[in-house]
Structure 1
Amino acid sequence: MENSKKKTSSLRWGILRRALINNKSSTTQQHSDEQSQTSISRKANRSFALIPFRVVDQLENEELTLAKAKEACVCYTLPDTNHTKLFIYQRVDNCANLDDFKICNAYDIDNTGLVCAWPSEEVLAYYCLSNLDLFRSKRVIELGSGYGLAGLLIAAATEALEVVISDGNPQVVDYIQRNINANTSVFGGTKVKSMMLHWNQEELSDISNSFDIIVASDCTFFKEFHKGLVQTVKCLLSKEGPSEAIFFGPKRGNSLDEFLIEVKESGLQFTIDEIYHTEDEV
């Protein structure tokens, strides 16, 4: 009789253990590790379909044939008169990657930006699309951008003066730059660049007080980053004229409440809007 399959949680703990002790395993053990990793699922994207999109077929884009099944290119079509298209390259691995955890340990960050395009990013992008005038002629930065859908949409559709798309994970920033390069033809006169930005970074003098608008989605989940995130927001907002930070995300337990305590203690003012769209079931 075959042994029962290892629980997914056990497999994940095994990966974490190896990342922490950095043990040089034998060839046999490495082979076993690889088999275990293929049994660990990654979170799949759950889109709200607020912006029409499709996965680009490999035959349509030669670059995709190099990555094959490990990457995908998603094409979003904006509902403007020109039907502007945005191409977003992203990882679609169906297993955990030990190297990802090693980079997280080295940079004191998480790897959520690589996992998928999160629903909150899509909602933020849709909000930006519905409020184009808010960003016109403004300097904008997106924090914790992941693959950068919202930042790219702002650059393509709002006539913003400048858009910086940032993340603290160097692997994610590589994807952001790749996605910027793939969409330069639709940015018009908007200056767009990627940036590696850690929220606990002490020195931000080059970009301090530079931005009229900060946008972010689902960035308040990790409580250990709350203080650094609030200080980053306070440092980046322009002191000349009105400026604001727009955050989107689910509550995720009491994480949002604790983040708002940090915001209040920093002296920043804030308002909360809870907007739910209901659908009648047939």
Structure 2
Amino acid sequence: MNPTSSSSSSSSSSSSLRWRILRQALLRRSDSQSQSGIKRISRKPTQGFNLIPCQVVDSSPASGNSREARVCYTIPIPASPKLYLTQRVDNCSDLNDFEISNRYNIDNTGLVCQWPSEEALAYFCKSHPDRFRDKRVIELGSGYGLAGLVIAAVTEASEVVISDGNPQVVNYIKRNIESNSMAFGNTSVKAMELHWNQHELSELTNTFDIIVASDCTFFKEFHKHLASIIKVLLKANEPSEALFFSPKRGGSLDKFLKEVEDIGLHYILTENYDAQVWRCHETLVKGDESWPNYDKNHCYPLLIQITNHN
């Protein structure tokens, strides 16, 4: 292994370890200290590619939760419906977030912000509606569900399941589906709590024409389960595919793709898959104040198409 690869892999591994140590340390401290000093941890969401215009339309939602806001996303298609998503806006993590992460052995990154890879996935899906028309689609690790909601609103898919393993996140998905129910036409849309290591999935086995996911390959400990559930969910005897959008993030993506191959799946990796996304990327690489410290390896999502056959 060359020094660069070794360094990148080590950096990604260290990031994952730091996240785990921080979570465990906070929970231990809560047993012996007042929670007032550790209830919130500052963090800064990543700037997106600005592919789908959005704005906060209500910073005091009916829920009365000051950590939430209602955000309007304008899909860049003539006469397309606007989507209204309730999501966190205070850029902080509550101690309860970490407690739930430990309890379910999941991460809570879906609560942090609308990640750039999710935006790129949503933009790609709205640009290729024929790919989804009359298809059964599931989004994995969806966060607030922007991509799944866009698919449901503009592609005429027959069914869209928007899933995540974090029950807090699934609650947001349910609320966002309800808020936008009039935008889905005849498409059936539902939320689901789905853990990639679930053993009993008989009702979902070989069910879906298309799986979509964004930025789900960072944590290496989930790679094997993620590859396995792709194989379980995709239709086996009909054309089907998984569309993943993910940055390389050191060696994390490569390690996931090795698991994909080991389980008998096939993939095609594409760097330049959309002219508009690529233009945004090139602008950011040259330096742009809207996204300081933009780094191709950690920020730019590649397209990975995964299938059961060559």
TM-score (norm 1): 0.87
| Counterpart check, 1:63 vs 2:65 | no
What is the CA deviation profile of residues 47-103 of structure 1, one whole-angstrom value per residue up to 9, with x for unaligned ones? 2110121111347xx526x123x0011101112332410011111234321111111
What is the CA deviation profile of residues 124-171 of structure 1, one whole-angstrom value per residue up to 9, with x for unaligned ones? 000001111100000000000000000000000000000000000000
Q: 1:19 aligns with which of 27, 51, 54?
A: 27
The aligned residue for residue 149 of structure 2 is: 152
Instruction: Letter of the 1:268 partner, please give it.
Output: L
| Partner Cα separation in structure 2 for residue 124 and residue 15 of structure 1 | 29
Unaligned segments of structure 2, at least 5 residues: 1-17, 273-277, 289-310
The aligned residue for residue 255 of structure 2 is: 258
| Counterpart check, 1:172 vs 2:169 | yes
Task: Describe the SS at the equivalent of 2:265.
Answer: coil
2:38 touches 2:95 (CA, 8 Å); kept in 1? no
- Higher relative CO (CA 8 A, sep ≥ 6), structure 1 or 2? 2
The aligned residue for residue 50 of structure 1 is: 51
| Partner Cα separation in structure 1 for residue 150 and residue 217 of structure 2 | 22
Instruction: Letter of the 2:37 partner, please give it.
Output: Q
1:37 touches 1:95 (CA, 8 Å); kept in 2? no
Instruction: Letter of the 2:186 partner, please give it.
Output: G
Q: 2:182 aligns with which of 181, 185, 207?
A: 185
Task: Describe the SS at the equivalent of 1:241.
Answer: coil
Instruction: Letter of the 2:195 partner, please give it.
Output: H
Q: 1:34 aligns with which of 28, 33, 36?
A: 36
Instruction: Letter of the 1:63 partner, please give it.
Output: A
Q: 2:194 aligns with which of 169, 193, 197?
A: 197
- What is the total number of aligned residue pairs between the two structures? 261
Q: CA deviation at 1:45?
A: 4.3
Task: Describe the SS at the equivalent of 1:96.
Answer: strand
Q: CA deviation at 1:15?
A: 6.1
Q: 1:136 aligns with which of 108, 133, 143?
A: 133
- Rg bigger for which structure? 1
Alignment of 1:166-245 (within 5 A): 166-245=163-242
The root-mean-square deviation of aligned C-alpha atoms, in Å, is: 2.1
The alpha-carbon distance between structure 1 residues 15 and 209, as it changes in their structure 2 partners (threshold 3 A), is closer
2:139 touches 2:211 (CA, 8 Å); kept in 1? yes
2:143 touches 2:169 (CA, 8 Å); kept in 1? yes
| Partner Cα separation in structure 1 for residue 126 and residue 270 of structure 2 | 18
Instruction: Letter of the 1:16 partner, please give it.
Output: Q
| Partner Cα separation in structure 2 for residue 80 and residue 34 of structure 1 | 46
| Partner Cα separation in structure 1 for residue 21 and residue 257 of structure 2 | 32
The aligned residue for residue 75 of structure 2 is: 78
| Partner Cα separation in structure 2 for residue 281 and residue 270 of structure 1 | 32
| Partner Cα separation in structure 2 for residue 73 and residue 159 of structure 1 | 25
The alpha-carbon distance between structure 1 residues 85 and 200, as it changes in their structure 2 partners (threshold 3 A), is same
| Partner Cα separation in structure 1 for residue 158 and residue 69 of structure 2 | 30
Task: Describe the SS at the equivalent of 1:137.
Answer: coil
Q: 1:107 aligns with which of 95, 104, 109?
A: 104
Instruction: Letter of the 1:74 partner, please give it.
Output: V
**Would you tell me which structure has more strand in proportion to its own residues?**
2
The aligned residue for residue 158 of structure 2 is: 161
TM-score (norm 2): 0.79
1:42 touches 1:93 (CA, 8 Å); kept in 2? no
Instruction: Letter of the 1:201 partner, please give it.
Output: Q
